[in-house]
Amino acid sequence: MSGGERALYGPLKGYHHETYVFPLPGEPGAPGRTRWKCREPRRNLFWFDRRCFRSEEDLVRALSGHITRIPDVIDVGEFGLQKFIEGRTLGSRFSFSDVIPDRLIDQIVELFEELSAIDPEKLSVERSCVPEDRPSDGDTAGFLERLICFTEKQVYERNAHRFGGLFQALGVGEGAFSHLRRNVPGMAARPFGLLHGDLHRENFIVDPQDRLWTIDWELAMVGDPLYDLATHLYLMRYRPDQADEVTRRWCQAVEQVRPGSSRGWEEDLPRLLAYKKAQSVFTDVIRAALAVDARSAALSWWPLIHAGRKVQAVLARAREALELEHVPTHWQVMEALRKWARKDAARERREADPSRP
């Protein structure tokens, strides 16, 4: 499709896909010509989030005309290509300690407003979740229960044979889910809508004209709109004063478009944030463990130090949500990861050669 390897740029950094960027052959060679993304799902991935739509490209097509700044999609042969948005990610321009400028906050709020205006039942996009796994419109308690159930069954229990001992060493066990389920009863009813599901700084692209584009829609779902705000606040890590401002403006925007969308947010936003903090523990512990390579005789210390720091921080943020008795120190986390990595490397060697003791 690219016409030659010299035109390729990539692979881009990303967890879910291997992505390459290139101009199509025959397009004008002048600077500023359009480049496109070809994405292939990575094999044997751990999925940490529920998925609702079978094809991200089909969803992005359906959202054209409803969401102001999303990539175009074209078909080249059997492949759907997304337009590559030229610019920089929001995360590369502003650190967690920075205040995001008002001109960009305005566009984030506009995105939430546009999402609220979409009737998900009118989107002609094939769903991947079975009807039995879809709470009825407004059943926010059922929606949160399905999120907890997915993390419990598909992330924790499904991988307990490999990572269960590591979670136990870090003080996280099956009881975590009973703690989270205490937040389910009493949720206020809110009309369901389309959620992006992953609105963080690396999924916002700021182009040279200071326009904010939203990319990576693979985790989009239908559900409680307050969950999209909770996910956004947790992942963006705004300064407290700006988080309060974004929450206030979100409430105003969604209520104008779909009344009732912010109902009960004062009580329910902390419940959803508690789930996000807990979910990140299971996500980041597994990812950090996989980043520690113990297959060689000498375990590299820098990845271990980096992974330990990340896991210790996510455990600290989730201490109240998971009702942890204590948060292990950085050194204790590193030691737990080191021991796990040694055992996992031994397991791999046994599976590769069953005759080994």
C-beta neighbour count of 211 within 10 angstroms: 15
C-beta neighbour count of 345 within 10 angstroms: 17
Cβ(159)–Cβ(87) under 8 Å? no
pLDDT of residue 76: 86
Strands across the sheet containing 88-89: 88-89, 204-206, 212-214
Domain boundaries, the chain: 88-352
Question: Residue 11: pLDDT above 90?
Answer: no
The two structure tokens encoding residue 289: 């463990």
Distance CA 307, CA 324 (A): 20
pLDDT of residue 10: 82
Quick one: 88-352 is in which CATH superfamily?
Aminoglycoside phosphotransferase (APH), C-terminal lobe (3.90.1200.10)
Interval 82-97 mean pLDDT: 94
Alpha carbons within 13 angstroms on the beta-carbon side of residue 69 total 20
Which has the closest alpha carbon to 347: 199, 165, 171, 212?
165
- Which residues partner with 205 through β-bridges? 89, 213
Question: Residue 29: pLDDT above 60?
Answer: no
Averaged pLDDT of the chain:
90
Distance CA 336, CA 279 (A): 20
C-beta neighbour count of 298 within 10 angstroms: 6
Question: Residue 357: pLDDT above 90?
Answer: no
Cβ(319)–Cβ(172) under 8 Å? no
Model confidence at 32, pLDDT cuts 50, 70, 90, reads: low
Report helix, strand or coil for 64.
strand
Distance CA 100, CA 112 (A): 17
- Which residues partner with 323 through β-bridges? none
Interval 225-250 mean pLDDT: 97
Cβ(8)–Cβ(22) under 8 Å? yes
Residues 124-160 have pLDDT tens digits of 999 887 777 789 999 999 999 999 999 999 999 999 9
Give Cα 28 distance to the centre of its chain: 36
Interval 247-267 mean pLDDT: 98
Question: What DSSP letter does each residue of 13-49 carry, written as one string?
Answer: P-SSEEEEEEPPTTS--STT---EEEEEEPTTPPP-S
Residues 52-63 have pLDDT tens digits of 898 999 999 999
Model confidence at 227, pLDDT cuts 50, 70, 90, reads: very high
Question: Residue 217: pLDDT above 50?
Answer: yes
Alpha carbons within 13 angstroms on the beta-carbon side of residue 119 total 2
Model confidence at 296, pLDDT cuts 50, 70, 90, reads: very low
